[in-house]
Chain A
């Protein structure tokens, strides 16, 4: 009695219509928590879980407006047909390529930027703003800007390489399967690295400074400190960065569409989902492919989290 502040007790009592201050306790707090969380739960149910369940249902039905076949249950047929198509296999290989290349560049680049920004220096705020800028641009706009740079006729890249005598004639970069993937990845990484660097920077800022001090006293050099202090303590942030980078890379679409259209040599799984669903109007198969992509994304995320949790333990 009298253990709670009088004002709070009174507010809670008023809220639940209670004139018995003694009954205001954990139960009422829990109820208040539910009341406050319910709107969000309703939104999540309506906008996340219901579409998810409906999507799973669609993926097991024949919903093809292009052929006019009546909607009926087909089990896993959509999955088998979608995954068996040669375009899907090629798209999956491209997507894997984007993922490996993008993650490598994003983590390496993001960490380098985060390490630099972690130290105070003059103009740090300005550098920070410049670093964030690519992330602020919509990916379509980035694609359009970079398309001008890669233009084989009058693009900046060809012009620069020619002046440096690294090429002898202007190159049609997107005619090459290798360079197509490389440049699409470059544009993608350019837009995502700022986000990754922010995540890693927040992780770096959570590492106690006294650990580095103690390590210096013990004679540890920069590389040793990085290896035995920074990296281990950065694991949670790295897990988040890897998960975020993976989700974004697996969903790559805008940059490809703007730079190279529906060309076979750069098509991703997400593009295949779009073509199947909105061009062919085969909603059943398109949804099945989207479910597979979501599962793959989820598996990667679980793998990262599990790996880093075990390492932390």
Chain B
């Protein structure tokens, strides 16, 4: 007797077949590196919002290389977590991924990024600044695309209202100038500083430490900031005193660096100590600023004159699980072309890491505040001359948390820094 199969079973079988066919076709369309041409390959690039390349630029790369790009824009914090999860699971996240200088120690040691030192041209390597920040154990894991560093900015109009014509050069002078601005009525809380338990808080403290001529650690990672006469101690004391003396808003204990920066561009503050090289571009943008044409760069005030600063470069790396490493490298090399770096700078405000391109921008007058930037660049140093340790992220979280506690008054400056010093010694030792 004939058995009639249910109609729905046929439908399910047909649907399953279609799905399987589609999967087989899609997995066959993007073959991995074959050692030959990269044309026809498809790569995924994961970057934070400030590195979102325009569609035109992506189309240009695709036309030149024959490689198609899927640009995945994700928050900076989100990228870090995603890399950690994908790395731990040994699965591909994307082919080219943002690599912040602060992640190099951890991710480099974990082997999650492919070494690039033998793959980059010697001319590019020689022209790149900040390659040391992406080096761990002798391997270069990232190529710098954003020459971010810290520089201060001030509101010329507010300073002029207080009778001050030139920017402050020392921290003591800064404190006096800020009091004058406060008394003039230009700004109730003239200094903007993040003091919440977030990364930006630690960054501001690092900056002041270097500006005062100090370092965080010696070559053996022994902490140098716990002693009251150290630069790090003085830096934190300055911040806490500024809060107590009404120069910094009490709300700063809940502010991230982005929010603190917005206080400057909204006109609520006269000075931002730890801003980036795109600060004036933002301050002059009428869509996002209330102080158009009022802001100017200021060299970071130091002990007896303008002080040093440090770089927070951002790079592009290739994940070691990527199946398209050659295509990914082609993308990075294309990004690093002088003509493309100039375009990216004008569109996104990212300061390039190639010395020759920065000089070109200054010569052409295309860099807002270019002279001050070039001047400050001469004193940019890595935060860890001895190389970022693998425990840097944990140290930074501890630093931000303890600075926040000191700002809230639940710990003194000495208690906070002593705890940080003992914790960091435990991290370095273990």
Contact = CB atoms under 8 A, between A and B. Distances in A.
Interface string A153-177: 1110000000000000010101101
A67 interface: yes
A152 B198 contact: no
A275 interface: yes
B405 A263 contact: yes
Contacts, number: 103
B161 interface: no
A66 B390 contact: yes
Contacts of A14: 4, 6
B182 to A, nearest CB: 15
Contacts of B390: 66-68
B391 interface: yes
Contact of B250 (A19, A68, A152, A260): A152
Interface in B404-430: 404-405, 408-410, 430
A277 B408 CA distance: 27
Contacts of A147: 254
Contact of B6 (A15, A153, A281): A15
A15 B106 CA distance: 58
A281 B106 contact: yes
Interface residues of B, number: 37
Given A65-B84, A153-B249, A281 B110 contact: yes
B80 interface: yes
User: Interface size class for chain A?
Assistant: 35 or more
A152 B88 CA distance: 41
Contacts of A75: none
A174 B302 CA distance: 31
Interface stretch (B279-287, B320-328, B394-402): B394-402
B383 interface: no
A67 B110 CA distance: 8
B327 to A, nearest CB: 26
B410 A175 contact: yes
Given A65-B88, A260-B196, A283-B88, A152 B405 contact: no
Contacts of A261: 196-198, 256, 400-401, 404
B409 to A, nearest CB: 6
Interface in A263-291: 263-265, 275, 277-281, 283
B81 interface: yes
Residue from the set A147, A172, A261, A278 with the largest chain B CB neighbour count within 10 Å: A261
Interface of B: 1, 3-4, 6, 80-81, 84-85, 87-88, 106, 109-110, 112, 189, 196-198, 249-251, 253-254, 256, 390-391, 393-394, 397, 400-401, 404-405, 408-410, 430
28 contacts: A17-B3, A19-B3, A63-B88, A65-B84, A66-B393, A68-B110, A153-B250, A155-B251, A172-B408, A175-B253, A175-B410, A260-B196, A260-B197, A261-B198, A261-B400, A261-B404, A262-B198, A263-B401, A263-B405, A264-B401, A265-B408, A278-B80, A278-B81, A278-B84, A279-B393, A280-B393, A281-B84, A283-B88
Q: Which 9 A-B pairs have the closest CB atoms?
A: A261-B197, A153-B251, A263-B197, A65-B110, A175-B408, A152-B251, A261-B198, A152-B250, A262-B197
